[in-house]
Structure 1
Amino acid sequence: MLATHQAHASASGQAAPRSQSLWSVLPASLILLLAIIFGTSSYLHSQLLSFGQSMWNDYGMLRHAMPAPTCDAHFDIEQRIADQIARAEAQAADSILPFRAPNPDSIRRSLQAQQVQCAEQHLAYAHNQQLRQSSLLVAYSSVEAAVGEVAVMGLDAQKYLLVGVILLCALVGTLQHSHISLRAIRTQRDAQVSALFQLFGNLLLLLSAVRWRAIAMDSGDSASPWVHWLWIVGFSALTLVSVVQMLRRDRQLPSGGNWLGALLTIPVYAYMALISGLYFLLAEHYQAGMAVQLIKMVKHADLYINVALYVWVGMLLKQTRLAHLVFDAIRPWKLAPELITIVVVLLAALPTAFTGASGIFLIAVGGLIYHEIRMSGARRPLAFAATAMSGSMGVVLNPCLMVVIIASLNKQVTTTQLFDSGHNVFLLTAVLFSAMVLLTRRNPLSCAPAREALPASLKALIPLLPYVVIATVSITFFHFVLNQRFNEFSAPTILPVTLILLLGYDVWSRKRQPQPAAPAAGEVAPMAPASGGFWQRLIAGTAESSIHIGALLMLMALSVVLGGVLERAGVMELFPTDFSSIWMAMTMLVAVLVVIGMFMDPYGAIILVSATIASIAYQSGIDPVHFWMVVLVAFELGYLTPPIALNQILTRQVIGDDEMDLTHAESRAEQTWWRRHERLVMPVTVMAIALLLVAYVPLAVGY
């Protein structure tokens, strides 16, 4: 997801380079801020209604000026009785049925009830008019109504915000050569081949969007005409950029390169677009197929906007010194490389949950994790494996967005059930990873004596206290002022606000601290945190967010489309639905889920599994909570397993190509097969063992 030309700068943790200018920041920041404003407005409107009711009785009636009643509360009842009887007699004269005179007493009771009701309306109107003379009430109700309109507007605007943020950020990512691919662009041939395939993929998407708009207009569906135009304009811009990049040679890159290597630089989303587009064109002759599949994503616009917000949180976290300060507190213990590896990976689980997915966390602090593990003396393959693994444990912890999406798409489970089981899965994977690292260690375990390390560690924790206080105040404000507790549903709104406050304090406090001393000869210097003022760092974090949001959401969008292709082509129907035993059903499910995780983005894969495989699992007698725990672990195993191995790709990109070459060289020098492939085999082995235990142990104990 990182810009290939800037991999080293991104990995260093410094501010974004100059090429990420304001033009790449303003569109994304505007959309993200609007998402936060719309999300907060609903909380605020609810609180304004509650406070208004506590200030004025019957505020629900007083919040709007009532129209004057048109009824007469003093009409002559006897005269109306006589009029009704006269009308009944006149109608009876033209009827062949015998005349039955109306009951005057019944008419009188009805008219008396109407008179009382009319009088109450006049009293309510007079009460409303009297209290509405209060300038405080009028001003308050005006503000409350305006906030309510913003909240209602936000519900309708979600689909526009989602489509806008996907296409704008995808355009930024395309210009920066930063879409997710199996290998980074290194030569001019790489860049041109990548652009050529992106051109074909974008053309298919554009054709589908144009055709879908025509079909919608012909059928009279004009509910969201601007959404169609957003897709068309966005895909047109992506196509145009691909044409320019294909025709123009990038002089910053060396010439040469081989064709096989160039094919690996093609973004994964482009491959998905080509497969899906050609299927709809050649197999179904349905040009609008890809755009129709994207409706699935738009229907859950709020969840995918939350993905963008979590990416922003991760990039803002990267601009602060929080991760560096945590490592400062660990460093005095002088832990052996294996121990520091275990501690770092376990600590990474919590921010992984808060940033929504393993990939987002790796982008944010993966480079720092790798550097800190290397500083302890760990070999490069171990540091690489640990970095790739660091984002895989927290996806089952609260408030991870993946779990929220599962619960929203599947009524058989709730977030509470999934998070409760997720804690046990996290403990299992933590134990397995720790055991694997310790069993494969090469040196004796060691650490500094507690009497030396503890005071220094506690002293290093002091700078973290203001960050904790600011975060607590922010969460408390949302809890008491807006009546919104911090949970998996409010986290996407609360966390960006909190990170902006933390960034402001970080900039202020760093200016008042002395510069660290230069490392002694032979020592590895700690990675320098991001530098610059508040606005510079905020712009840098948002610019980097734009790149990663575009890469991630385009991959998600095409994963949704590819999932639709698999469903329409009947591929999922090849999966057997009738199993001889629950053990056979689980075995087949595990195999299919791992394959899906190897090739698809998690959020698109969740939609596919929810629509197809989940019902088969339920029919086979597998508990829904148990099944979705298996899904999450299987997906994480898939993200670590070739041929795509998303977490491995992101780790490679955050540490930089030069460090990756050194890692390969160090691995080739090893004597045994395990050590030569440790960076790939270790995380895969840990997650594979975890998957087998999560899948089969509950069946064995009758869960």
Structure 2
Amino acid sequence: MNAALAFSLLVLFAAAVPIGVSLVLASAFGITLFSNVSLLLAVQRIFASLDSFPLLAVPLFILSGNLMAAAGISERLVELAKSMVGGIQGGLACTCVVTCMIFASVSGSSVATTFAIGVILIPAMVRHGYPVGTAAAIQASSAELGVLIPPSIPLILYGVATETSIGQLFLAGLGPGLLVAAALFVYLLILCRVKGYGARDGDERKPFLAAIGHSLWALLMPVIVLGGIYGGIFTPTEASSIAVVYALVVGVFVYRSLTVAKIYAALRNSAISSTVIMIIIAGAGLFSFLVTRSGLPAIIAEWVRDVFTDKYSFLMAVNVFLFIVGMFIETSAAILVLAPLLAPIAISYGVDPVHFGLVIVVNLALGMFTPPVGVNLFAACAVAGIPIQKIVPALVPMVLVVLACVLLVTYVPMIALGPVELFYR
């Protein structure tokens, strides 16, 4: 049954069938040919996969991010970041990193971050003398912060798939997110100094206090949402609904930039994005159930324990595996299919489930801007109007920088667990 499931899934992937649909069809094929149960099982398992209160946070955080983007939040955050770091050589490149880090705490999505920030900063960097491929590479790599800095949709999915505390995962994402941001920041400063990029990046920079005043309401959103979660005032799911209400109030009554047409567009885009993710969740839930029923997790666990004698070699193997998976498989599907299989094995090696969740998400975040299927890569190229080949040379060093961060997060657990130990344990 396992071989049939894997083969049918690969055939559907090769035929360019959407991932969520592929998972459902492959599972239905496996039930029909190799099981004595009714296809009604598929309907039951799909419903059970979606019948989860924490999953409600996914569409609501997507909607809050789209509403804030429609309200012009990205332009205000760019102004703020530029007022902070724009005065140095390479300041625009560093502004991209800082802005993505702040916007990530609003949107929870790397693709949304790529489009919202990229449409402003990629043309700005090109005007200031950055090669267009380099500008797009900076945006694609910086936008991965959208899945590390909470609220993060991949972290929500990992929490649901493995029954791990989403609040603890959000808090654990701060360390890796700040580490990746700092590493990219330092690399870009060196790159701009060596290549001579960004000598005039400080032009047209607003004073810091003026930029703070202009973006204050935007900055309060993550403070309210995350402060409420960590303070025990509300759950992550309740926080997502508060984020939507806050985005509407700020966009309509404070910034007065949200029109009926913009709200409709945000609702439409959120519905489409949420539907895609929910179909993947439904298909992955059914697929994972069949794989578990076949006994494959026990077989894999036994094989892993025979091959890898300690958790360090196991974690290295996981890093290599996830790096390859991230290059070809969409992040949500990879988490929902692999996390239930790998997390119990990691726990048996003594790896904290919260730490392991960050290992998975940071690895797959790297895959978001690596060829051939990196979603951030295609989004940045679409914004810049260039073919993917033009971005790759500038992208390679950034991949190596983030790869070094992946290893640090993997082998220095306190990068992720430090804030969790402080607040929760």
Mapped to 2, the partners of 1:331 and 1:610 lie a distance apart of: 38
Indicate whether 1:613 and 2:339 are aligned.
no
Aligned match of 1:544 in 249, 255, 269?
A: 269
Indicate whether 1:350 and 2:76 are aligned.
no
Indicate whether 1:689 and 2:404 are aligned.
yes
Q: Which residue of 2 aligns with 1:646?
A: 375
TM-score, with structure 1 as normaliser:
0.48
**CA distances 1:289-313 after superposition (whole Å, capped 9, x unpaired):** 543441342232x233221112211
Cα gap change, 1:605 to 1:437, in 2 (>3 Å): same
**CA distances 1:4-28 after superposition (whole Å, capped 9, x unpaired):** xxxxxxxxxxxxxxxxxxxxxxxxx
Q: C-alpha displacement at 1:620, in angstroms?
A: 1.5
Aligned match of 1:622 in 351, 357, 361?
A: 351
Q: C-alpha displacement at 1:616, in angstroms?
A: 1.0
Q: C-alpha displacement at 1:595, in angstroms?
A: 4.3
Q: What is the 5 A alignment of 1:301-380?
A: 302-330=53-81, 338-362=90-114, 364-380=116-132
Q: Which residue of 2 aligns with 1:127?
A: none
- Whether the aligned pair in 2 keeps the contact of 1:557 and 1:604 (CA below 8 Å) is no
Q: Which residue of 2 aligns with 1:20?
A: none
Mapped to 1, the partners of 2:139 and 2:201 lie a distance apart of: 27
Aligned match of 2:386 in 640, 644, 660?
A: 660
Q: C-alpha displacement at 1:580, in angstroms?
A: 1.7
| Secondary structure of the corresponding residue to residue 279 of structure 1 | helix
Q: Which runs of 5+ in 1 are unaligned?
A: 1-203, 205-262, 511-532, 668-675
Mapped to 1, the partners of 2:170 and 2:199 lie a distance apart of: 34
Letter in 2 for 1:636: A
Q: Count residues in correspondence.
A: 393
Aligned match of 1:459 in 195, 210, 215?
A: 210
- Whether the aligned pair in 1 keeps the contact of 2:359 and 2:409 (CA below 8 Å) is yes
- Whether the aligned pair in 1 keeps the contact of 2:67 and 2:263 (CA below 8 Å) is yes
Letter in 1 for 2:313: M
**CA distances 1:534-564 after superposition (whole Å, capped 9, x unpaired):** 2122122222223322333333333334444
Aligned match of 2:284 in 546, 559, 569?
A: 559
Q: Which residue of 2 aligns with 1:134?
A: none
Mapped to 2, the partners of 1:417 and 1:495 lie a distance apart of: 19
Q: Which residue of 2 aligns with 1:433?
A: 184
Cα gap change, 1:584 to 1:415, in 2 (>3 Å): same
Mapped to 1, the partners of 2:359 and 2:44 lie a distance apart of: 30
TM-score, with structure 2 as normaliser:
0.75
Q: Which residue of 2 aligns with 1:636?
A: 365
Mapped to 1, the partners of 2:259 and 2:201 lie a distance apart of: 39
Q: Which residue of 1 aligns with 2:140?
A: 388
Bigger-Rg structure (1/2): 1
Mapped to 1, the partners of 2:174 and 2:381 lie a distance apart of: 29
- Whether the aligned pair in 2 keeps the contact of 1:353 and 1:399 (CA below 8 Å) is yes
Mapped to 2, the partners of 1:549 and 1:410 lie a distance apart of: 20
Cα gap change, 1:283 to 1:387, in 2 (>3 Å): farther
Mapped to 2, the partners of 1:293 and 1:459 lie a distance apart of: 53
Q: Select the structure that is richer in helix.
A: 2
Q: What is the 5 A alignment of 1:20-31?
A: none
- Whether the aligned pair in 2 keeps the contact of 1:315 and 1:541 (CA below 8 Å) is yes
Q: Which residue of 2 aligns with 1:504?
A: 252
**CA distances 1:318-339 after superposition (whole Å, capped 9, x unpaired):** 2112211232345577657843
Q: Percent identity?
A: 20
- Whether the aligned pair in 1 keeps the contact of 2:49 and 2:282 (CA below 8 Å) is yes
**CA distances 1:635-684 after superposition (whole Å, capped 9, x unpaired):** 2123333443233344445x27xx034x64xx2xxxxxxxx623553443
Cα gap change, 1:264 to 1:368, in 2 (>3 Å): farther
RMSD: 4.0
Q: Which residue of 2 aligns with 1:138?
A: none
Mapped to 1, the partners of 2:268 and 2:32 lie a distance apart of: 37
**Higher relative contact order structure (alpha carbons within 8 Å, sequence separation ≥ 6):** 2
Mapped to 1, the partners of 2:131 and 2:89 lie a distance apart of: 8
Mapped to 2, the partners of 1:423 and 1:599 lie a distance apart of: 26
Letter in 1 for 2:320: A
- Whether the aligned pair in 1 keeps the contact of 2:111 and 2:143 (CA below 8 Å) is yes
Letter in 2 for 1:640: F
Cα gap change, 1:282 to 1:591, in 2 (>3 Å): farther
- Whether the aligned pair in 2 keeps the contact of 1:560 and 1:607 (CA below 8 Å) is yes
Q: C-alpha displacement at 1:500, in angstroms?
A: 0.9
Mapped to 2, the partners of 1:566 and 1:687 lie a distance apart of: 32
| Secondary structure of the corresponding residue to residue 641 of structure 1 | coil
Mapped to 1, the partners of 2:268 and 2:278 lie a distance apart of: 16
